[in-house]
């Protein structure tokens, strides 16, 4: 599907900067908060930004590559955690409650029948992707349908009045497609993009590297080209992606199209953000990168995207928890530009 994403108009930038600089503080003294305020004002094209009805999409799906032993966790954990989320017992639940997020738990492709579970939105494409060691994870038609699901979920949030969105994932083995997307989209050696995931040993990491390198070799044989510039992003996304990841891409693109702020979580969601920028580079203007994990690969991916995360808390849970933890910082930036007095009103001499 296509998205009509426009970069925020530059006409207001000078006015926004003037307002920020005239708040009663030394120029630039609130650092990243000033940058965030500028970004939110630019997205909303206003001098008085507001954050309304924040929503969090928790997208669940399973991966065929899990069958190759690339994750320390078995795939049954995906559906078990999805049910746990409906009972309010996950990390994502706690942070959504704390920060007032409207949480939607969505089955996009879990390898389990969750249709009768109250609290789970059923958007299942099918029960898990194919094993991309041997064949594409999904068809082009499935990719399009899954992106449309992500877009539709954002439309539901927007209809509730949401203008800031965070996205999380639940999908055992989804660090594997994330590593491959990072390698192919940023042209970084694959071994440098692979880490321990949820807790692999050194031997587990070695095995994971072997499996993923073999999968990429098979992909190049299928495309009959090793020239990354000649391979369409859609081919890479469909060949390796998970349904929850592709839905996240669709959600990010639709949110940007609707001029919403998009909060980007950790390694998996950064990989989805990277893929989204390959489809529509304009989407990056709407993204706030919220958290960097300790793994070198995530830090390298952020650097490759010229993205500076707000937090590094050593989190590796997923679910969008890093993004949710960063929300109060974004909220502080909005309060800063709306609630701080300026030099004139405060009758303070402006000394710069």
Residues with catalytic roles: 319
For 138-174, give one letter per residue: b (16+ CB within 10 A) or e.
beeebbebbbebbbebbeebbeeebbbbbbbbbbbbb
CB within 8 A of 92, min separation 6: which ones? 56, 58, 85, 103, 168, 319, 320, 321, 324
Question: Measuring CA to CA, which residue among 314, 313, 328, 241 is closest to residue 279?
Answer: 241
Would you call 10 exposed, middle or buried from its count of C-beta atoms within 10 A (0-12, 13-18, 19+)? exposed
- Alpha carbons 51 and 44: distance in angstroms, whole number: 10
Give the tokens for residue 185: 């989209």
Q: Token pair 């990277």 is at which residue?
A: 274
CB 301 within 8 A of CB 185: no
Q: How many CB atoms lie within 10 A of CB 102?
A: 15
């Amino acid at each position: 599907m296509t998205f009509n994403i426009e970069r925020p108009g530059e006409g207001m930038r000078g006015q926004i900067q003037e307002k920020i600089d005239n708040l009663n503080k030394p120029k630039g003294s609130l650092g990243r908060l000033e940058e965030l305020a500028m970004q939110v004002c630019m997205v909303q094209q206003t001098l008085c930004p507001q954050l309304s009805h924040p929503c969090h999409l928790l997208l669940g799906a399973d991966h065929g590559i899990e069958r190759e032993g690339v994750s320390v966790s078995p795939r049954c954990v995906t559906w078990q955690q999805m049910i746990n989320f409906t009972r309010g017992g996950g990390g994502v639940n706690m942070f959504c409650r704390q920060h007032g997020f409207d949480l939607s738990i969505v089955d996009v492709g879990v390898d389990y029948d969750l249709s009768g579970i109250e609290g789970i939105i059923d958007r299942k494409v099918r029960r898990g992707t194919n094993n991309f060691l041997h064949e594409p994870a999904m068809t082009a038609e499935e990719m399009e349908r899954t992106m449309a699901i992500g877009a539709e979920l954002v439309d539901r949030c927007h209809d509730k009045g949401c203008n800031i969105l965070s996205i999380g994932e639940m999908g055992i083995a989804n660090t594997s497609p994330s590593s491959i997307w990072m390698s192919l989209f940023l042209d970084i050696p694959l071994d440098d993009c692979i880490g321990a995931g949820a807790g692999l040993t050194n031997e587990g990491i070695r095995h994971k590297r072997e499996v993923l390198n073999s999968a990429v070799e098979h992909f190049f044989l299928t495309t009959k080209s090793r020239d990354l510039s000649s391979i369409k992003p859609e081919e890479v996304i469909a060949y390796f992606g998970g349904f929850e990841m592709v839905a996240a891409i669709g959600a990010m693109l639709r949110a940007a199209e609707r001029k919403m702020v998009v909060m980007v979580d950790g390694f998996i969601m950064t990989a989805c953000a990277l893929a989204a920028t390959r489809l529509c580079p304009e989407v990056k203007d709407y993204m706030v990168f919220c958290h960097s994990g300790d793994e070198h690969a995530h830090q390298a991916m952020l650097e490759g995207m010229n993205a500076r995360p707000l937090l590094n808390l050593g989190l590796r849970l997923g679910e969008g928890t890093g993004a949710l933890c960063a929300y109060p910082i974004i909220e502080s930036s909005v309060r800063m530009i709306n609630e701080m007095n300026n030099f004139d009103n405060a009758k303070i001499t402006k000394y710069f």
